[in-house]
Structure 1
Amino acid sequence: MTALRRRTTSLLLLLPLTGFAAPDPAALRAIVDGTIRPLMAEHDLPGMAVAVTVDGQSAIFNYGLASRADNKPVDDRTVFEIGSVSKTIAATLASWAQVQGKLSLADHPSKFWPALKDSAIDTATLLHLGTYTPGGLPLQFPDELTDPEPLRYYRDWKPVARPGAIREYSNPSLGLFGHVTAKALGRDYADAVETIVFPAFGMNSSYVNLPEAKRADYAWGYRDDKPVHSTDEPFSAVTYGVRTTAADLLRFVQANMAPQRLEPAMRRAVEGTHVGYFRVGGMVQGLGWEQYGYPAKLQTLLDGNSESMIWDRQAARQLKSPTVPAGPTLYNKTGSTGGFGAYVLFVPEQKVGIVLLANRNYPIPARVHAAYVILEKLTARE
């Protein structure tokens, strides 16, 4: 319990919004502390950074330790692995590339990687790759696959369904989506993210390739009580490779809540990631973000982030007229690596966004429940 008493709070003003008054700092801290302290105790989380924005006022709450070995506390500079939340960054880059006329979601991957021509994967479009619907690519690459550009893997792949018929959450699917995006831009993927996406959102402490000077701020993740950092696999820069702070990720969330504050091309890119394309159970799959009509029941969110949704094939129904949702919408995304667990949730119409970053991969239902409790308390305002 000692680590739980190590808590600091920073108040930040980011992209101001108008609306009803946010709770005062003490009330906000009480809401977050009352949710996060029990969560950390239950799951033995070494450290957490929690970022909350309410009506344009934002706070960062730091808990516990970034490194148990040297008793280093989590602070505003602490860099976390965000796992598959990285996919929302990849989606933003691809959407920006489409705005720039460099690609279309209707393109097939061989347009930018000609060696894929006449393969089964080339019957899918970039939209299918970006929404996990090409026809049955699995969750992970085979463990023995080490090729950083696994052409043979994709050429040999055999679909189990036509493109668009099923959604199977997949690093190979989203990884190819990001890789082809980089090819369309004629750029290295990491360089494109670090020079195009991060600067547009003011994410000055976010990295794909972590510089040596920032290693002291890089939290250790914990797995079986041993300190770990993620290792590379094919296209891991795309699928789980972003390392960032809670404040930077909240800047990204706030810009998603109010994209009109961005320069025009990036505004259109962000709006493109809010378009829903496939309905899968109670969830609508967009590019990166997963959507729910708001208000959403907790069980609906738990179902949409369940192990079955991660591991199993699900029937998908393509929406006839894909567009940005007309009504109130909750957007979310989970992310995990071997030693880290992340969750992001925001509701633009309520002007509330929540970022949870932890240096242990703890159960996803616990993350969803914690964020939901905070959201409910923040929106139960007169």
Structure 2
Amino acid sequence: MRIQKTSALASLLGCLFLYSGLTRAAENAPPAIAQVVDATIPPLMKTHDIPGMAIAVVANGRTYFFNYGFASKQSRQPVTQDTLFELGSISKTFTGILGGYALSQGKLSLSDTAGSRLPALQGSAIGQATLLQLATYTAGGLPLQFPDAVNSGQQAIGYYQAFRPAFAAGERRLYSNPSIGLFGYLAAQSLGQPFDEAMEKTLLPKLGLSSTYIRVPASRMERYAWGYARDGKPVRVGPGAFDSEAYGIKSSAADMAKYMAANWGDVRDADLRQALDASHAAYYRTGDLEQGLGWEGYRYPVSLTRLLAGNANEMAFQPQPVSWLTPARPAKEAVLLNKTGSTNGFGAYVAVVPSRKIAVVMLANRNYPNAARVTAAYRILAVLDSAGLS
């Protein structure tokens, strides 16, 4: 269905669809799920001026999709569970699993140093950091983003060679695209493939994801939503140094629901299960947050206050002290795993409790505050848990 902006009536219908319309697929959801999602998401969209959202709720072995609004304000193309959204930093969870897969193949060790894996970094300060430190943002203070002048992989290597740590490796967490970006680059290199190829031809097929991409193919561009920047202009993510590794994946609610199920062990490949376990394991604690490979975990059950604290701006922009867990906490305990992701025009959030087999996926084509995402998802998860829907 396309709603054209040709009259006042069409505009009214568009608003009604944007803030209250559900797809037919969601009509099969249990009343408790349908009520909490429909009471939570449309007000969230209105408050933050979000054009479109795709929601997947996974519980009791079933997935329920709720689709609101538009993938494009210009064409009035409605969101569906197959609409492609930019995942932003949720991509880091895929990078962590790829590293875990290389680990399961015996291609690398998390104790390897960056310099031992990449001769160009031998003798540099960052070359002494371990792959685990790179993957968990503790390599000495690599910043959130590369400087504007760094636009290619080769320029990134030069940046790493010149980097001077702000503090000792392993001492503090400073959330960083260059840090996990280098980890992903080295993990793919250990598998003998460029990162994009290792992800799109090895890991994503193993996860059973057929509508998840780094580079959206021409045949799927009609499903790729437009994001909307703060000024309201349509925008999509552009290329950057190690962008694929840190924030480059695009996916749909349908594929992300499958991804959630994979993360509670719904996979047959033993090496992939080992990779998932490695990504879920807690390597250190900072506050209530337990850091995995890409994933960020909390002992479950967890209060909303603690979950909000772990996803607060301070955790992304300020260095945090860490307490290493030796050995790492295994992945099988009761935890909530979550990750936010943003680009200039998109905002996403996923939360999964593997031991209860419940999950929420929230994809939006506007970047909006993490606290709003976490609060909305927590409200939905609470209903899944309390209503015995897990």
> Quick check: 1:6–1:73 contact (8 Å CA) kept in 2?
no
What stretches of structure 1 of length at least 5 have no aligned partner?
13-22
**Does 2:42 match 1:27?**
no
Give the 3 Å change call, closer, same or farther, for CA 9–281 of structure 1 in structure 2. Answer: farther
TM-score (norm 2): 0.92
Question: Paired residue for 1:100, among 85, 105, 109?
Answer: 105
Question: Paired residue for 1:85, among 86, 90, 110?
Answer: 90
Structural mapping, 1:174-193, within 5 Å: 174-193=180-199
Give the 3 Å change call, closer, same or farther, for CA 270–152 of structure 1 in structure 2. Answer: same
Distance 1:53 1:151 in 2: 41
Distance 1:301 1:114 in 2: 40
Alignment correspondent of 1:17: none
> Quick check: 1:49–1:60 contact (8 Å CA) kept in 2?
yes
Residue 81 of structure 1 deviates from its aligned partner by: 0.2
> Quick check: 1:48–1:63 contact (8 Å CA) kept in 2?
yes
Structural mapping, 1:198-209, within 5 Å: 198-209=204-215
TM-score (norm 1): 0.94
Alignment correspondent of 2:249: 242
Which residue identity is paired with 2:178?
A: P
Alignment correspondent of 1:214: 220
Structural mapping, 1:34-183, within 5 Å: 34-149=39-154, 150-183=156-189
Alignment correspondent of 2:312: 306
Q: Equivalent residue of 2:282, what SS?
A: coil
> Quick check: 1:77–1:217 contact (8 Å CA) kept in 2?
yes
Distance 1:354 1:230 in 2: 24
**Does 2:307 match 1:316?**
no
Distance 1:200 1:328 in 2: 25
Residue 11 of structure 1 deviates from its aligned partner by: 6.4
Note the aligned Cα RMSD (angstroms): 1.5
> Quick check: 1:109–1:126 contact (8 Å CA) kept in 2?
yes
What stretches of structure 2 of length at least 5 have no aligned partner?
1-14
Cα distance per residue 1:87-131 (max 9 Å; x no partner) = 000111110001001111111112221110000001110000000
Q: Equivalent residue of 1:36, what SS?
A: helix
The number of residues matched between the two structures is 371
Residue 299 of structure 1 deviates from its aligned partner by: 0.8
Structural mapping, 1:223-372, within 5 Å: 223=229, 224-259=231-266, 261-325=267-331, 327-372=333-378
> Quick check: 2:304–2:375 contact (8 Å CA) kept in 1?
yes
Residue 77 of structure 1 deviates from its aligned partner by: 1.9
> Quick check: 1:9–1:59 contact (8 Å CA) kept in 2?
no
Q: Equivalent residue of 1:268, what SS?
A: helix
Which residue identity is paired with 1:82?
A: L
